[in-house]
Structure 1
Amino acid sequence: MKRRERTRQLIELGGLVAKAGLIELTDDDRAVILGLLVEAAAKLRTDETGNQLTLWRRRGQRAFADTIDKD
């Protein structure tokens, strides 16, 4: 991956963390945010990966739709 593409990806992922409200909800505690992400990754390593991805995808799609509706 080229440097510019990686930078864009990291900025977009940071935007998702902000959009989810994690910065405010954790008082910008990066250890907590990382812990949340590590916990999510651990869930994805279980037998329930497909179900978990489906659940999170639906929630994410609703969150995106809510953002569009508010604009």
Structure 2
Amino acid sequence: MVKRRERTRQLIELGGLVTKAGLVDLTDDDRAVLLGLMVEAAATLQGEHRDQALTLWRRRGRRAFAESAAEL
């Protein structure tokens, strides 16, 4: 039961990140587009530019979190 609750929480948080990034609005909640974006990101992470992509995306994510916190 605890593992199920943890998994549910994780899924809710991940959905929140998709929303926070503006992807739901930008894609008009098109699930195929959202999945395509994530499949494309996964392909990038399997390629030779993995480390550069992770560094770039981590910086952008941290900046977005900081901007969001500053708005509060």
TM-score, normalised by the number of residues in structure 1? 0.97
Residue 63 of structure 1, CA deviation: 0.2
Give CA deviations for 1:37-71 in whole Å, capped at 9, x if unaligned.
00000000001111110000000000000001111
**Percent pairwise identity:** 69
Residue 22 of structure 1 is matched in structure 2 by: 23
Residue segments in structure 1 that go unaligned for 5+ positions in a row: none
Amino acid at match of 1:25: L
Moved over 6 A (4+): none
Matched residues, number = 71
Corresponding residue number in structure 2 for 1:35 = 36
Alignment gaps of 5+ in structure 2: none
